[in-house]
Structure 1
Amino acid sequence: MPVDSIQSRTQRNADSFRARWNLLWSEKANWIAALAILGIGAHLLLRFGFHSSANVHSIPLWITLTVGGLPMLYELAGKLFKREFGSDLLGGISIITSVLLGEYLAGSIIVLMLSGGEALERYALQSASSVLSALAQRMPTIAHKKQQSGVSEVSLEQIEVGDTLIIYPHETCPADGVVIDGHGTMDESYLTGEPFQITKTSGSSVISGAINGGAVLTIRTTRLAADSRYAKIMEVMRKSEAERPRLRRLGDQLGAIYTPIALLVAISAWLISGEVLRFLAVLVIATPCPLLIGIPIAIIGSISLCARRAIIVKSPVVLEQITSCRTAIFDKTGTLTYGNPKLTELLSAKDFKDDLVLTMAASLERYSKHPLAQSILNATAERKIQLPEATEVEEKPGQGLRGTVSGHSVMITSRKQVLAQNLSGADELPAIAGGLECVVVIDERYAGMLRFRDAPRAESRPFVNHLGPKHQFQSVMIVSGDRESEVRYLADEVGIEQIYSQQSPEEKLAIVRAETSRAKTLYVGDGINDAPSMMAATVGMAIGQNSDVTAAAAGVVILDSTLTKVDEFMHISRRMRGIALQSAVGGMALSIIGMIFASLGYLNPVTGAILQEVIDVLAVLNALRAAFPPKVIHDL
């Protein structure tokens, strides 16, 4: 056999062994806890059931301490070597002390407490993400792709942007897209948190993970399956379980303070009473390693809750930081506004009526892809105007839109073109004002002007007004690349006084850095030019899915384009921090009370271990509350 083949097989065997060992080691808490339960149970049975001698009924406890305790002591020794003096150090000292004093039952209970706490942590983290796990199981593995040869089944990895997919009744949508044929409903509650059936027809957007109703829908994909909203939520689940959040370090810091206090109480109880068992009893009840798992459990639960509310937390640290932000910085277009200009003013020339000017313009705009076309059509729909057919429609670059409507020549163009062509009635053009504008010309005569503004979101003003009273923000500002008149108009509409207009991405970045040097900042935006500022701010937040670059730079991504979700995130974060500190500080306070009773001789080591386990369970159960939505999740 070739040497390379032998080496390859040897390497594969080594990798396989290493993988099995890593899996076994990662599950060590489970089998050590099981061993401790069996050992303690066998000891009690031999001691009280068969009344065997001490040498016999201590054997199960020795096995527990040797097989289960030594791996834990080895791990603690590694932490000491790295100078990590956490609160779990108390557990190691307690195990060693119990063996030296012959208190094997107390030592075995400590092994059970430490391993059981770690196993409970793993279970609690999985429970906190249970909704996301259930969602993962709902995702299909195949899609029905429509091709010239018919409909064929393909894997999700084979789906490309622009593919035509068939969504059959009651199937789960495999990718984000737009409906191109069919009419029905979809259940998006697993993704948006809103318990409604959403109507879908041609032009409606659909999101992966949504459940189709009773009608067949044909969609054109707009994103790869790997880039869909559903995939992002799944990514959050994986990262949140793997990444060690910053608040966990807060737990370590609390433990670093708590450990010497516990040792001082234990040593004092020993010296004052002269009973070494009191030293052990205090250490046993002081062991808070499982207790402090309440902090990461609260974080994972909050990340899970955010994901169910269409809020993707990419960096757990933002959950801690957002509550201390005091300056809010907003981009303008698409953040505080809808990003869709709306017709706000129609100025007709003399001898022309408003409805006539709007009708002629809308009849042409039905054939245009200009960004303002839909705003004009929406205005006619609101007025319930019937549009006549347009003919000879053409749109040459820089010259505007031309056509014939009801026998009249119609042109939609710019102020500059009207003046350049010296058209009849040009002297009636209104003065230049803020916002966007287009000019309507009928039969070579100026007929009217349409003015547009990007309307502020309905929730923008209430959201801005409540940032100070409800979330302690001291400064709110707009930093935008738009003209000052436009930025000032929006600022007045939403109640913001401080603005920076006509700012380049580099200038935006400089402003954010300067503000962040004075206080922690929240930056909210949606465009590619916002990415540098998001990264420079304390917390960067992207609204919508307009740019993968922006989403990559942000610590939080709001999948639904609404500021209400920003407020929800603030509430979830504040609640998470409160629950995490309740679990850590509250549990430690109960432990300190128990330590006092143990130092006075009212608790022996075995009773103290049982009491500590009860405290740990209470702390974990409290932390799990973070995964469930509160009654009030926003103020808007």
Structure 2
Amino acid sequence: MVLVQHLKDEAAKVVEENIREDHQGCSKVNTATNQTNNAASQQIASPKSFSEQAMKWWARKSLVIAALAIAGIVVHLLLRFAAQTSLFISDLPLLVVLVIGGLPMLFDLLKKLLQREFGSDLLGGISIITSVLLGEYLAGSIIVLMLSGGEALESYALRSASSVLAALAKRMPSVAHRKQESEIEEVDLQDVAVNDTLIIFPHEICPVDGEVVEGRGVMDESYLTGEPFQITKTKGSAVISGAINGESALTIRATKLAADSRYAKIMEVMRESESKRPRLQRLGDQLGALYTPVALIIASAAWAISGETIRFLSVLVIATPCPLLIGIPVAIIGSISLCARRAIIIRSPVVLEQIATCRTAIFDKTGTLTYGEPTLTDQVIAKGFEQREVLALVASLERYSKHPLANAVVAAADKAGIALPEATDVSEQPGKGLLGTVAGHSLQITSRNKLAEQNVPGADQIPPIAGGLECVVEIDNRYAAVLRFRDAPRSDSRSFVKHLGPNHHFNRIMILSGDRESEVRYLAEKVGISEIFAEQSPEDKLAIVRKETALANTLYVGDGINDAPAMMAATVGMAIGQNSDVTAEAAGVVIMDNSLTKVDEFMHISRRMRTIALQSAVGGMTLSLIGMSFAAFGYLTPVAGAILQEVIDVVAVLNALRAAFPPKVMHDL
């Protein structure tokens, strides 16, 4: 009873916390918005989906039935052995358990049978009916306890797994500082509307996506993007919800509702990861479909040969397949929780099984096998310009860009000890590149093709294309320089690629990139990959991945928005770094840390989860079959069989719980 009470208290606590936190972390639409947006936002912001509400209700129901069963069994034993009452009186508590607890279970099983769902819990229902017909009320009550306790434990495991989601919700502010004229007021996050002016104080978390309208500072977006550096923010810069402000206050204009912002999307991803049922769980149903007729055959044979109906009940009682009903879900949810604690978000739990079947690994280049942090390697300066001056002007402008090459330019200027003047009129327009004014000079940082289209004076001095990445600089409407970059491979890229074949059974490894062939081939040689596809558009990537997936199961790993279609076409799509909402939604796995080691950790957690789940299921079934043999020969009564089955259940669940705890070795890089 202490255990049941503890489970009740913990379940109630989890439910209350999640409801409270979801009310704080999610927003509703301002009444001024249109009805369509209102309905959509409330869908996202709703504290719990229908399935989650159903899960809460079922958890409470199972806990109540389990508590009732324990109370009924204890009262029965006290009346029978301590008070020594008549059998009729002592059996009354058991009859209450069977009526109140057993009938709802039988009703649910009947609905499943009418829907032609012959699950592994069918044996439990047959056992309850048989125990009542034979007057074995104690055995029947123990079966009710076994089934309800198993369902309560599974529901508790599912609810406990949402602790990662709760941690995300706790991190999000519940209020925002809205500025109206000269007044600043605190408002609930749900009351923030698009175009509201908000103040983000130093070291606060940004409540919604928006645009800076006043102030200058930096923000830490690493929690959301995986990029480990501070992002400079000035007028016109975009800010994302969940980012941590630096030491300067910023005034922003909200461009999205809280329910539509970046952070809310990540939370939505987490909710989806907890609600989807994987194929491995269906494997449990398949095992149960084989196990159930075997158990019925053994029980029927024992009855037919011995002529004792009690043996039929004894066999069915010990055959109750709780290792299938509990062990596999607990192993799955435990692995999802372990992944989340390791900064690996499982959006579609089916990938935990599918990754082991993948034989072709396809990688995007930038930000996946490389750091996504190019370094400035060469500066080709045009006549009439001086190298340090060009670098100073370009770096001053690049401070306000999120382009991968921007940080490389700024880092080179810092290393050279160059003081950077202030930039104004900064804009980054599609097709034009980065524009602005620095120290009285107009600047444009773009590509050679875009510059050639503008007929800029001096464009004939642009040198031929070389290996690596590049950008072209125009100063005061004249060609000024070509800056060349290299994106260094990750330190663990080569060892990671090398171990995929022998350790994870991949037969083919390839790079699929939109970059120039010279740059892709340079990286491929560095990391040990011989098969490459360069200068590929998103449509080309999609076609290649579909073709490869038709030949063998594929793993696609990328980090950019142009990877999303290919990720969806692959058997397992994996996003690294959360650089794009679209990419994260297309992927089955999201690696929050920008690390290939985490990719390897996911593979090991997946393989271990499958092993543990099958150990719990098959091991529990094997022990039950041994127990059934003893019961068939008359060595176990129904009550003794029920107790033995409880021991088997505990062993199976304890083994399944291992999936939630990290092993000594998380990866083999």
TM-score by length of structure 1 reads 0.80
Q: How far apart in 1 are the matches of 2:132 and 2:272?
A: 40
SS at match of 2:329: helix
SS at match of 1:93: helix
Cα 1:453–1:601 change in 2 (3 A) is same
Name the structure 2 match of 1:605. 638
Name the structure 2 match of 1:362. 392
Could you say what the CA RMSD is over the residues aligned between the two structures, in angstroms? Answer: 4.6
More displaced 10-residue stretch of structure 1: 145-154 or 223-232: 223-232
User: Which of these residues, 529, 544, 547, is aligned with residue 514 of structure 1?
Assistant: 547
State the Cα distance separating 1:515 from its structure 2 match.
Answer: 0.8
Is 1:126 the counterpart of 2:159? The answer is yes
Q: How far apart in 2 are the matches of 1:541 and 1:499?
A: 19
User: Which of these residues, 285, 297, 300, is aligned with residue 318 of structure 2?
Assistant: 285
Ranges in structure 1 where 5+ consecutive residues have no aligned partner: 1-18
Cα 1:390–1:257 change in 2 (3 A) is closer
State the Cα distance separating 1:229 from its structure 2 match.
Answer: 5.8
Deviations for 1:272-316, whole angstroms, at most 9, x for unmatched residues?
444332222121111013643221222223223333433332222
Cα 1:299–1:388 change in 2 (3 A) is closer
Name the structure 1 match of 2:577. 544
Cα 1:126–1:552 change in 2 (3 A) is closer
User: Structure 2: which amino acid aligns with 1:76?
Assistant: L
State the Cα distance separating 1:322 from its structure 2 match.
Answer: 1.3
SS at match of 2:169: helix
Is contact 1:425-1:445 (8 Å) kept? no
Name the structure 1 match of 2:49. none
Cα 1:183–1:486 change in 2 (3 A) is closer
State the Cα distance separating 1:561 from its structure 2 match.
Answer: 3.6
Cα 1:422–1:178 change in 2 (3 A) is closer
State the Cα distance separating 1:228 from its structure 2 match.
Answer: 5.0
Correspondence list, 1:146-157, <5 A? 146-157=179-190
User: Which of these residues, 62, 66, 85, is aligned with residue 33 of structure 1?
Assistant: 66
More displaced 10-residue stretch of structure 1: 217-226 or 140-149: 217-226
Name the structure 2 match of 1:583. 616
Is contact 2:59-2:151 (8 Å) kept? no
Name the structure 1 match of 2:538. 505
Is contact 1:65-1:108 (8 Å) kept? yes
Is 1:625 the counterpart of 2:658? The answer is yes
Correspondence list, 1:183-332, <5 A? 218=250, 220=252, 224-227=257-260, 230-289=263-322, 291-332=324-365
Is contact 1:117-1:290 (8 Å) kept? no
Is contact 1:329-1:524 (8 Å) kept? yes
Q: How far apart in 1 are the matches of 2:315 and 2:541?
A: 57
Is contact 1:240-1:300 (8 Å) kept? no
Correspondence list, 1:299-448, <5 A? 299-346=332-379, 357-367=387-397, 371=403, 372=405, 374-385=407-418, 431-437=464-470
User: Structure 2: which amino acid aligns with 1:361?
Assistant: L
State the Cα distance separating 1:551 from its structure 2 match.
Answer: 2.8
SS at match of 1:481: coil
Cα 1:400–1:96 change in 2 (3 A) is closer
Q: How far apart in 2 are the matches of 1:118 and 1:410?
A: 66
More displaced 10-residue stretch of structure 1: 470-479 or 328-337: 328-337
Is contact 1:521-1:539 (8 Å) kept? yes
State the Cα distance separating 1:546 from its structure 2 match.
Answer: 3.8
State the Cα distance separating 1:251 from its structure 2 match.
Answer: 0.6
Q: Larger Cα Rg: Structure 1 or Structure 2? A: 1
Deviations for 1:404-434, whole angstroms, at most 9, x for unmatched residues?
999x9999898787998896995xx765422
User: Which of these residues, 470, 489, 493, is aligned with residue 460 of structure 1?
Assistant: 493
Name the structure 2 match of 1:8. none
State the Cα distance separating 1:384 from its structure 2 match.
Answer: 3.0
Deviations for 1:541-599, whole angstroms, at most 9, x for unmatched residues?
22334433333322223334433332332232222222222221222222223223323
Is contact 2:164-2:340 (8 Å) kept? no
Q: How far apart in 2 are the matches of 1:126 and 1:97?
A: 34
Q: How far apart in 2 are the matches of 1:400 and 1:138?
A: 34
Is 1:451 the counterpart of 2:481? The answer is no
Q: How far apart in 1 are the matches of 2:366 and 2:239?
A: 24
Name the structure 2 match of 1:144. 177
Q: How far apart in 1 are the matches of 2:433 and 2:120?
A: 75
Deviations for 1:292-344, whole angstroms, at most 9, x for unmatched residues?
32212222232233334333322221121112111111223343334454312
Q: How far apart in 2 are the matches of 1:242 and 1:392?
A: 47
SS at match of 2:511: strand
Is contact 1:291-1:615 (8 Å) kept? no
State the Cα distance separating 1:520 from its structure 2 match.
Answer: 0.5
Is 1:490 the counterpart of 2:520? The answer is no
Is contact 2:218-2:230 (8 Å) kept? yes
User: Structure 2: which amino acid aligns with 1:460?
Assistant: S
Is 1:556 the counterpart of 2:589? The answer is yes
Is contact 2:361-2:555 (8 Å) kept? yes
Q: How far apart in 2 are the matches of 1:345 and 1:568?
A: 37
Is contact 2:397-2:436 (8 Å) kept? no
Is contact 2:165-2:271 (8 Å) kept? no
Deviations for 1:486-522, whole angstroms, at most 9, x for unmatched residues?
2212222222111112323332222111111111011
Is contact 1:145-1:166 (8 Å) kept? yes
Is contact 1:178-1:202 (8 Å) kept? no
More displaced 10-residue stretch of structure 1: 54-63 or 333-342: 333-342
Cα 1:200–1:161 change in 2 (3 A) is farther
SS at match of 1:632: coil
State the Cα distance separating 1:46 from its structure 2 match.
Answer: 1.8
Q: How far apart in 1 are the matches of 2:56 and 2:438?
A: 74
SS at match of 2:111: helix
State the Cα distance separating 1:249 from its structure 2 match.
Answer: 0.7
Is contact 1:364-1:393 (8 Å) kept? no
User: Structure 2: which amino acid aligns with 1:588?
Assistant: M
Is 1:84 the counterpart of 2:114? The answer is no
SS at match of 1:473: coil
Name the structure 2 match of 1:97. 130
Is contact 1:512-1:537 (8 Å) kept? yes
TM-score by length of structure 2 reads 0.77
User: Structure 1: which amino acid aligns with 2:135?
Assistant: G
Ranges in structure 2 where 5+ consecutive residues have no aligned partner: 1-51
Deviations for 1:349-374, whole angstroms, at most 9, x for unmatched residues?
9999xxx6244433454246675554
SS at match of 2:529: coil
Is 1:61 the counterpart of 2:91? The answer is no
Q: How far apart in 2 are the matches of 1:296 and 1:522?
A: 25
State the Cα distance separating 1:401 from its structure 2 match.
Answer: 8.9
What is the number of residues matched between the two proteins? Answer: 608
SS at match of 1:455: coil
Cα 1:540–1:598 change in 2 (3 A) is same
Q: How far apart in 1 are the matches of 2:545 and 2:511?
A: 11
SS at match of 1:144: strand
Name the structure 2 match of 1:572. 605
More displaced 10-residue stretch of structure 1: 198-207 or 309-318: 198-207
User: Structure 1: which amino acid aligns with 2:103?
Assistant: L
User: Structure 1: which amino acid aligns with 2:63?
Assistant: N
Is contact 2:395-2:420 (8 Å) kept? no
User: Structure 2: which amino acid aligns with 1:582?
Assistant: Q
Deviations for 1:370-392, whole angstroms, at most 9, x for unmatched residues?
75554333213223345689999
Cα 1:541–1:237 change in 2 (3 A) is closer
Could you tell me the percent identity over the aligned residues? Answer: 67
User: Structure 2: which amino acid aligns with 1:509?
Assistant: L
